[in-house]
Structure formats: C-alpha cells, structure tokens
C-alpha cells in the first residue's frame, strides 16, 4: 500500500502558485469505533440541560466542551468538564460586563478562553479560562448590516476565522435601508484579530460563490438578501464547506466537483486535492421528489388549521440547479486531517466520508452509514454530535474515536 500511496503523491501538477493533487478513484475502506462518554439534553438530564437552541459546540485543549445556546431568552455558554458535569455558565442576556445584547456566535481557544460575537454591542466579548470576563473588543468597521456566522479559532493566536456570507445571525436597522449595500460576489474567509481594543480584519482566502442575480432587486430586497446571499440561489446549488487546519490555513470546497482547496493567508489557494468523481445531473424525478419531501415536512410541522396555500405555491415555484454536488460536508480535526462527506445515492443522502491530509494524501474512507460528520472535533479523539429528535429536542453526544484499519 505504501508504494501505491507514493505513486498517488507523484501525480502533482503545478498551476501557478497552486499544486493540484490527483487522488485515487478507488475507495480504501476504514473502520472506526466510538466510545460514548456522556449525553446532554436528555429528558432525564438536569434543569440546565433543557436547551433552547444550540448554535454550536467546541472543545478546548483540556477536553472541556463549550455549548452556545443562542435562544434570545438564554444567550448563554455552558462549559462542561470531561466527565459531563457542568463547570460554569458564561454570559446571559443583559447590559452589564460580560452580558449579551444579541449574541450571534461563539469560538473557543485551546487554552480555555472564549469569545462571543455580539451584534447589539458591535463587538467580541472575551472571557478568561476561569470564566472571568476580560473585555469587549469593538468591531473596528461595523457594517450597516452587522452579521456573523460560524467562527473558528486557529491555534496559538488571538484570532477568529469566519465567513460573513454564511451568516447565521445579523441585525437590520432603519439605517440599513439608507446605506448603499455592498453585495458580495464571493465567499471571503475573514481573519479577525482580537488582541487590541478594536478588531483588525484581513482575508485568508476567497472561495467561489455562484452568481446571484440582483438586477431587479430594490434597496429593501438587497438589504434583506445581502446578509446571506446564497439564500437566493436555486436548490441543490454548490455550497461552501470549510474548516480551519492546525496551522491556521483553511480547507474548503466551493464547487460541484470533488476539489478540496487549501488556502493560506497572504498567498491564497496553494493546493487543490481532487478525486475523479463527477456531479450527477438533476433529473425531473429528483425535483418532484424534493418538492414532495418539502410539502410533507411543511404539513407535519404546521399548526392545525393553518393556511398553507402560499407556502405550497412557493415550493412548487422553486428553481433547481442542474447538477448535484459531489461533496456534502467538510470538517477538520485537531491532528490536521480533513474529513470530506460525499453525497450518497439520493440528493439529500450522505455517502462515505473520505479522510485526507493537507499535503495531499488519501488515507481512506469510512463507508456510508458508519458515522455522520461530527459537529465538533476535540483533542485525543474527542468528537461531539448534535442529535435532533422528531420533536426538535437537541441532544449533545460526546464520544471518543477508536480508529481501526483493516
């Protein structure tokens, strides 16, 4: 197998500053076991485990788990020890030091410090490893539409990396409708430095974003669309999937093909990892099945007697992209591996998960159904999953990976 891997690594073609690595078409099967450590949010759990809306979870270097409940009434960060017991709470709604006005995202440093982006305060709250509030770092150039999405801390720096065009929280005020809107045409990986009194932001890399037609949009439509422009794209359009590597570089997929790109600050994309899998054409049967699935979900979640005519019409008028993307998800581990989730048999089905290295090695694939992509990776093989019941109740499950190769 070592000889074969060496041949794969030789298939590297220079492309300007980029290197294109051609990975094999044949899967090499990997096995993995999980040791469950604890569960949070179960019906038998403690009162604090009755979560409202877990927006994201993350580990620190000691294996503590941080859960951010973004429900407006909660706005709280729970810190959980390796034994599954609550260590402390951070934040909560309010106007005092370390309290949140409109918390949008959380990121955790390896040393146990925490930062929370607050749209209302236009800044980042910083908490020490012992939970004490340190300071608020103001956003240096607050946008007319402040927004924030998933944030990741690269090791060894007072920095967070995020993609504003994938915002999960934003604020629109009256001033937003009187200010010219800069509509994005690409996904920028922004690195925000938190070491001073105000943030300093630069761009690590830019990813492709399918073009959004804004020619017929008025100011109101532009304001409502700009925080997350991909919401206007046809269904099944290529999505951006990304993760941060231990050295601060970014691994991402931004097209319908199997192309995992490695982006580096000050350079851009330095390497592209390809596997010879092609997008599948979208058929009329796929479109009908997806519309039917959405109508069924709409009816299941509707209140008794609700008028669903308008929403059914919107589903019937949905537009669809012409291809199904090969990649459905991507995540990075603490030891620098890249997990790439491929599409399964159907448009919404998960397939195998490939394990790659940033330098261009294919380590193998976990067959479809072996595991889902974790919500967070931690040190020493820790992973966290967020499970959602049919009633919408969230349960956080923490496990430890026990890999095997056959």
Task: Name the pTM for this structure.
Answer: 0.91
Q: How far is CA 1 from CA 275, 325, 362, in A?
A: 18, 30, 12
Q: What is the pLDDT of residue 196?
A: 93
Q: Which residues lie below 8 Å from residue 149, measured CB to CB, with a gap of 6+?
A: 104, 105, 162, 163, 164, 166, 167, 168, 169
302 — pLDDT class (breaks 50, 70, 90): confident
The token duo for 76 is: 């709280």
Phi (first) and psi of residue 142, to 5 degrees: -60, 135
- Between CA 243 and CA 258 the distance in angstroms is 16
12 — pLDDT class (breaks 50, 70, 90): very low
Q: If 0-12 CB within 10 Å is exposed, 13-18 middle and 19+ buried, where does residue 22 land?
A: middle
Give the E-state strand segments of 184-337 in sequence order: 186-193, 200-208, 241-244, 250-253, 259-264, 268-274, 280-281, 323-324, 327-332
Over residues 99-153, the pLDDT tens digits come to: 999 999 999 999 999 999 999 999 999 999 999 999 999 998 666 788 899 999 9
Q: What topology does CATH give the domain 19-176+184-212+232-282+320-402? A: Neuraminidase (2.120.10)
Pairing state between β 268-274 and 280-281: unpaired
393 — pLDDT class (breaks 50, 70, 90): confident
- Between CA 343 and CA 90 the distance in angstroms is 38
Helix, strand, coil: what percent of the chain each, to 5? 15, 40, 45
162 close to 151: Cβ distance less than 8 angstroms: yes
Which of 247, 288, 290, 289 has its CA nearest to residue 270?
247
Three-state secondary-structure class, residue 323: strand
Pairing state between β 123-127 and 133-138: antiparallel
Domain range list for the chain: 19-176+184-212+232-282+320-402, 283-319
pLDDT cut 90: percent of the chain above it: 73
17 — pLDDT class (breaks 50, 70, 90): low
Which of 72, 179, 83, 162 has its CA nearest to residue 115?
162
- Between CA 237 and CA 368 the distance in angstroms is 22
Pairing state between β 268-274 and 18-22: parallel
Choice between 3 and 115, residue whose per-residue pLDDT is larger: 115
The token duo for 314 is: 């919107």
């Amino acid at each position: 197998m070592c000889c074969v891997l060496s041949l794969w690594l030789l298939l590297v073609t220079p492309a300007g500053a980029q290197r294109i690595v051609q990975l094999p078409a044949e899967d090499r099967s990997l096995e993995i076991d999980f040791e469950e450590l604890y569960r949070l949010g179960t019906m038998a759990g403690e009162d604090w485990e009755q979560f409202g809306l877990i927006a994201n979870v993350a580990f620190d270097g000691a294996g503590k788990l941080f859960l951010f409940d973004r429900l407006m009434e909660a706005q709280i960060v729970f810190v959980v020890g390796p034994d599954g017991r609550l260590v402390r709470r951070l934040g909560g709604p309010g106007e005092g030091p370390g309290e949140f006005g409109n918390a949008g995202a959380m990121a955790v440093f390896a040393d146990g410090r925490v930062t929370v982006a607050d749209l209302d305060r236009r800044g980042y709250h910083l908490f020490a490893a012992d939970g004490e509030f340190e300071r608020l770092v103001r956003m240096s150039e607050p946008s007319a539409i402040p927004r924030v999405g998933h944030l990741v801390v690269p090791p060894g720096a007072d920095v967070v990396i995020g993609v504003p065009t994938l915002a999960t929280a934003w604020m629109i005020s009256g001033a937003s409708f009187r200010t010219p809107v800069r509509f994005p045409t690409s996904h920028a990986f922004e690195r925000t430095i938190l070491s001073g009194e105000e943030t300093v932001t630069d761009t690590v890399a830019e990813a492709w974003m399918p073009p959004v037609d804004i020619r017929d949009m008025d100011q109101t439509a532009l304001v409502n669309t700009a925080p997350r422009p991909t919401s206007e794209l046809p269904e099944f359009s290529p999505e951006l999937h990304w993760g941060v590597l231990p050295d601060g570089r970014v691994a991402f997929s931004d097209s319908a093909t199997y192309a995992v790109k490695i982006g580096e600050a000050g350079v851009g994309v330095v390497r592209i990892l390809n596997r010879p899998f092609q997008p599948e054409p979208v058929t009329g049967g796929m479109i009908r099945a997806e519309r039917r699935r959405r109508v069924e979900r709409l009816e299941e979640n509707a209140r008794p007697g609700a008028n669903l005519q308008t929403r059914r019409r919107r589903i019937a008028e949905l537009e669809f992209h012409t291809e199904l993307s090969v990649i459905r998800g991507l995540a990075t581990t603490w030891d620098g591996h890249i997990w790439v989730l491929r599409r399964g048999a159907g448009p919404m089905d998960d397939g195998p998960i490939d394990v790659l290295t940033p330098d261009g090695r294919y380590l193998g694939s976990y067959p479809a159904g072996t595991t889902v992509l974790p919500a967070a990776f931690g040190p020493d093989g820790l992973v966290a999953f967020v499970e959602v019941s049919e009633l919408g109740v969230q349960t956080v499950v923490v496990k430890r990976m026990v890999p095997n190769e056959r």
